[in-house]
Each structure stands twice: as structure tokens, then as C-alpha cells.
């Protein structure tokens, strides 16, 4: 997988050098183009089941999902700040974990803490529960489901 990524980067630089345009958009286009070329070449050789070609789209999808959640949470917190009254329903929720690796739990806890209005507090000693504080908990089951079907599911897809 590392070899394909390095090849992708090298082909991207070749594209940028050939076009002579050093703008970020051209780097991005070159990366996508070289990814597609490597995928076609690998598929033609019968090795199309490479993990690189399934992992990279999942990582990109995760990044877009995180930015969407970040934007949504920022709007919610900003609305709370600029409107009169107190609409928050803060609380601490025990989120059962499917992820069992230290890397996965750390990644999940950090993604939750980076999202405004939520904060990862602690992980149980047996790594089965993550304690999360949130500013807005109207339905605990919906909150837990949002984390499990959002961040945790996508992190599991990337780490497998």
C-alpha cells in the first residue's frame, strides 16, 4: 500500500512538472488523475483488490464527514450564543465502544472533542465505554446512535 501511495505522489509531481502550473488545484487534479491511472493499471493486472484503492476514498469521505459535523456543531453553538435564553440540555453519556484498539479509541475521542459542544471525558478501564459530555442531549439513545453510526463506524472502516 505504501508503494502505491508513493507512486501516486510521484505521478502527481510529474503531472505538475509537465503542466508547469504549481497551483493547489493542479496538485489536487494531478493526484486524482494519478490515482485513477494507478487504479486502471492495477485492475488490468488482476490486482484491483488493493487496499489502497478502497482506503483512500474512505479517508476522504471521513474528512468531508468531519467537516460537515464540525460546521453543523459550530452553527448550533453560535446560535446558542447569539440568541437570548438558555436552550442547552447538557449531560454526560456513556457511549458503548465497538472499537477496541488504543489508536481507534484515541482517534474517536479526539474527533468528538474537536467538535464544538462535545468533549470526551474518559474511557473505562476495559475499553468498552467512552464517557462524553455534550451541551445538547435531548435523547440519549439518539446521541449514542449519532456517535456510533457517524464517527465510530467510519473510523472502524478506515482501521480495518
What is the C-alpha to C-alpha distance for residues 110 and 143, in angstroms, rounded to an integer? 17
Average pLDDT value for residue range 74-89: 89
pLDDT bin (cut points 50, 70, 90) of residue 1 is low
What is the C-alpha to C-alpha distance for residues 125 and 75, in angstroms, rounded to an integer? 35
Using the 8-state DSSP alphabet, how is residue 151 labeled? I
Taking alpha carbons only, the member of 23, 61, 62 closest to residue 12 is: 23
Digit-coded pLDDT (tens) for 5-56: 899 999 999 999 999 999 999 999 999 999 988 888 887 776 555 778 888 8
Q: To the nearest whole number, what is the mean pLDDT of the chain?
A: 91
Q: Residue 149's pLDDT is what?
A: 95
Average pLDDT value for residue range 107-123: 95
Taking alpha carbons only, the member of 80, 67, 56 closest to residue 5 is: 56
* Chain position carrying cell 482506503: 55
Q: Between these two residues, 42 and 100, which has the higher pLDDT value?
A: 100
What is the C-alpha to C-alpha distance for residues 1 and 52, in angstroms, rounded to an integer? 5
Taking alpha carbons only, the member of 89, 98, 101, 102 closest to residue 144 is: 98
Q: Residue 48's pLDDT is what?
A: 54
Taking alpha carbons only, the member of 70, 95, 66, 34 closest to residue 158 is: 66
| Set of cell numbers at residue 104 | 481507534
Percent of the chain with pLDDT over 90: 72
Which of 2-6, 25-29, 155-159 is predicted least confidently? 2-6
Q: Residue 47's pLDDT is what?
A: 58
Digit-coded pLDDT (tens) for 140-150: 999 999 999 99
Percent of the chain with pLDDT over 70: 96
Amino acid at each position: 500500500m505504501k508503494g502505491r501511495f508513493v507512486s501516486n505522489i510521484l505521478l502527481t509531481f510529474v503531472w505538475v512538472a509537465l503542466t508547469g502550473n504549481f497551483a493547489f488545484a493542479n496538485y489536487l487534479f494531478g493526484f486524482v488523475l494519478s490515482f485513477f491511472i494507478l487504479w486502471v493499471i492495477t485492475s488490468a493486472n488482476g490486482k484491483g483488490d488493493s487496499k489502497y484503492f478502497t482506503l483512500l476514498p474512505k479517508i476522504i469521505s471521513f474528512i468531508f464527514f468531519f467537516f460537515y459535523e464540525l460546521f453543523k456543531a459550530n452553527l448550533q453553538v453560535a446560535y446558542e450564543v447569539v440568541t437570548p435564553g438558555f436552550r442547552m440540555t447538557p449531560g454526560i453519556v456513556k457511549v458503548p465502544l465497538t472499537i477496541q484498539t488504543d489508536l481507534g479509541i484515541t482517534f474517536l475521542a479526539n474527533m468528538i472533542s474537536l467538535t464544538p459542544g462535545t468533549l470526551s471525558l474518559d474511557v473505562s478501564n476495559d475499553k468498552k465505554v467512552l464517557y462524553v459530555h455534550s451541551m445538547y442531549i435531548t435523547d440519549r439513545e439518539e446521541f449514542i446512535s449519532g456517535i456510533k453510526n457517524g464517527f465510530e463506524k467510519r473510523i472502524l472502516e478506515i482501521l480495518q
